[in-house]
Amino acid sequence: MAETRDLLIEIGTEELPPKSLQRLADAFLTGIRKRLTEAGLASTGMQNFATPRRLAVLIRDLYVVQKDQESIRRGPALKAAYDDSGNPTRPAEGFARSCGVSVEDLERLETDKGSWLAFRSVQRGKPAAELLPEIIESALKSLPVQKRMRWGAGDVEFVRPVHWVVLLFGNEVIEAEIMGISAGRHTRGHRFHHPDSIALDSPADYATSLQNRGRVLADFNERRDSIRQQIVNIGRDLGGTTQIEEDLLNEVTALVEWPVALPGSFDERFLDIPAEALISSMQEHQKYFPILDSDKRLLPHFIAVSNIDSLDPEQVRIGNERVIRPRLADAAFFWEQDRKQTLASRVDRLRHVVFQDKLGSLADKQLRIGELASSIADQTGGDPQNARRASALSKCDLMTSMVYEFPELQGIMGRYYAQLDGENEEVALSLDEQYQPRFAGDELPSTRTGQALAIADRLDTLVGIFAIGQPPSGDKDPFALRRSALGVLRIMIERQLDLDLDRLLREAARHLPPQLDAESIIDEVLCFALERLRGYYLDSGIKPDVFDAVHSRQPTNPLDFDRRIKAVSEFKQLPESESLAAANKRIRNILRKSGQTVSARVDTGLLLETAEQELATAIAQLAESASPLFEQGNYTRGLYLLAELKQPVDHFFDKVLVMADQEDLRDNRLALLQSLSNLFLQVADISRLQ
């Protein structure tokens, strides 16, 4: 049995970027695993560690030596390797020389395609210790680091300066230089609690030694769980519930090595300010966690997570409260100043803010949105006047001091200011709803005005950016068009809005500057948008073949698209579906191979066989019942009816020769198959079902 040992790799650095720490740690683990696999070095498991000052990977039971690799090199065919007298030919001798042996040392390789000369060799495995330095360096160089830095006099580059490296294989150090640092067995503890180095006896001791001696929780998940539990308990002790945003929790976890959560308070007078502004100030600027009461109202408390276990936590609390006070005072000042002007009074300032050079100012965008939003509201049973008013105010809060300081409050502050100005309540609410959904899984606009505004804003951007020739490319999507398109589709589908996307895109194009010729890119935008539904449905458990069957028909109404998807997904569960899908695939192939344009008009006088007569009758009867259902959008019921075609279709293919020698019979049978295909194509191309 091959000898194995545990391996510890630790890269000690200056404080790593907190928002990138998890991604770096995962990428480092993935890179090491990939390269060990490629090198033929197996292990029983791997675990990564990540703190502000270190990236580490613990590999359990790693092979000490690579497995031997046997290879067979094939030479000339036997018939070309020897002459009639049985002597080696020049090709055989040349092959042997290239292998460093004589012809007599070569083997014969028997295959299905013939017999060959071959040379079998065994490459002895190299010690893992020889391979690991290059593997580690390669993994570090491939980390997703946008901007690397240099330090000191060397030319090594990394995301942050590297100060120590641990490379411990079993209880032995692998002598190597990684990132310009000689590897050893000494890690370092907490910067303040234990700044001295810590000698590690074995890789398995790593996490325990750091925790017990170095006051460092090296496991990211363990550290995050500790923070979560601490802040939940403190929130409960203060009579509320801690609001935990997962992104903030991850960021705080990436900022500390020894987390200690501490409560703090602020003056209750600040509660007169919109809670979102206070929470944003706490979370974005100070990385504090707010506390809410049972009615989701903000309490005058917060929780900070310190990186030290202070001997005098009261002083830490006082310091945290002293830091947050001016932040909240700033928010109070912005709130008071902004209220001195109405939202509507800020419209003219939007003329001086460029949305995009070729698409005009924010004021121009608001006018375009107003035209489209009022049309959408009219089609969905909303109030077009509310939609116009909401559009006119939609970007005005961008001109307020509060949103300038806290951009993430756009829309939210618009709602508050509109309510203070006495605007219609639905108009005010829509100023916030226009940005929904802000992220995957976010809530959708609840009002017709908010829905119209959210759709119009996104479609104007989609068509406009495509029209100026800047669609998303690869991973680059600076205008978040993929997210915008999916947001539009989600609103239409999940809010049950019966809207034609193609029509709305063309309407949006008409409001753009005429020199852009936006009409010419509508088909491209439509395809781009509808393709976003692929991931949407795959995430909800819809099979790819179901999506392809519907997508091939290019329904341009997303709600109608959704009804078809659900109907085909149900149809696929029927016992008849497999046979009918196969039959439709066969029909497609027959029609394509016929090489002619086939009419769906069937001459009943030419139906000679009983099986084709039965099929024609069944198609006519079911078309009469199913087609009205399809027109009403009741695709599920219609497809259930068409499932009855299984028996006559199977009988037809068993008994009837479609490609008959007699031309009129052949054409009539092709027409019968075309009519059958057309019946299903009213919903989807079920020939694509697997």
pLDDT, tens digit, for every residue of 517-547? Answer: 999 999 999 999 999 999 999 999 999 999 9
Residue ranges of domains in the chain, CATH in brackets: 4-66+127-212 (3.30.70.260), 72-121 (no CATH), 220-338 (no CATH), 354-541 (1.10.3210), 572-688 (1.10.730.10)
Q: What are phi and psi of 167, to 5 degrees?
A: -140, 90
Asked if residues 24 and 143 have their Cβ atoms less than 8 Å apart, the reply is yes
* pLDDT tens, position by position, 428-439: 999 999 999 998
* pLDDT tens, position by position, 371-427: 999 999 999 999 999 999 999 999 999 999 999 999 999 999 999 999 999 999 999
Residue 121 has pLDDT above 90, yes or no: no
At 1, is the pLDDT very low, low, confident or very high (cuts 50, 70, 90)? Answer: low
pLDDT of amino acid 527: 95
- Between CA 36 and CA 67 the distance in angstroms is 12
Residue 110 has pLDDT above 90, yes or no: no
- Residues 530, 410, 297, 236: what is their CA dihedral angle, to the nearest 10 degrees? 70
Percent of the chain's residues with pLDDT above 90 = 71
Which residues, 6+ apart, have CB-to-CB distance to 632 below 8 Å?
Answer: none
* pLDDT tens, position by position, 258-308: 999 999 999 999 999 999 999 999 998 899 999 999 999 999 999 999 999
At 558, is the pLDDT very low, low, confident or very high (cuts 50, 70, 90)? Answer: very high
At 604, is the pLDDT very low, low, confident or very high (cuts 50, 70, 90)? Answer: confident
Ranked by mean pLDDT, the top range of 481-490, 578-587, 637-646 is: 481-490
Q: What are phi and psi of 120, to 5 degrees?
A: -100, 130
Asked if residues 346 and 400 have their Cβ atoms less than 8 Å apart, the reply is yes
Cα 539 to the chain's mean position, in Å? 10
* pLDDT tens, position by position, 19-78: 999 999 999 999 999 999 988 888 999 999 999 999 999 999 999 988 877 778 888 888
Which residues, 6+ apart, have CB-to-CB distance to 346 below 8 Å?
Answer: 396, 399, 400
Name the token pair of 197.
């180095």
pLDDT of amino acid 504: 97
Higher pLDDT among residues 654 and 505, named by residue: 505
Mean pLDDT computed over 451-477: 94
Average pLDDT along the chain = 92
At 451, is the pLDDT very low, low, confident or very high (cuts 50, 70, 90)? Answer: very high
Q: Identify which of 629, 633, 636 has the alpha carbon closest to the alpha carbon of residue 569.
A: 636
DSSP 469-516: T---BTTB-TT-HHHHHHHHHHHHHHTT----HHHHHHHHHHTS-GGG
Which residues, 6+ apart, have CB-to-CB distance to 312 below 8 Å?
Answer: none
Asked if residues 5 and 41 have their Cβ atoms less than 8 Å apart, the reply is no
Per DSSP (E only), the strands in 333-376 are 354-356, 360-361
- pTM for this predicted structure: 0.82
* pLDDT tens, position by position, 128-170: 899 999 999 999 999 999 889 998 888 899 999 999 999 999 9
> Strand pairing partners for 398?
none
Cα 218 to the chain's mean position, in Å? 28
Q: Identify which of 250, 217, 336, 324 has the alpha carbon closest to the alpha carbon of residue 280.
A: 324
pLDDT of amino acid 475: 80
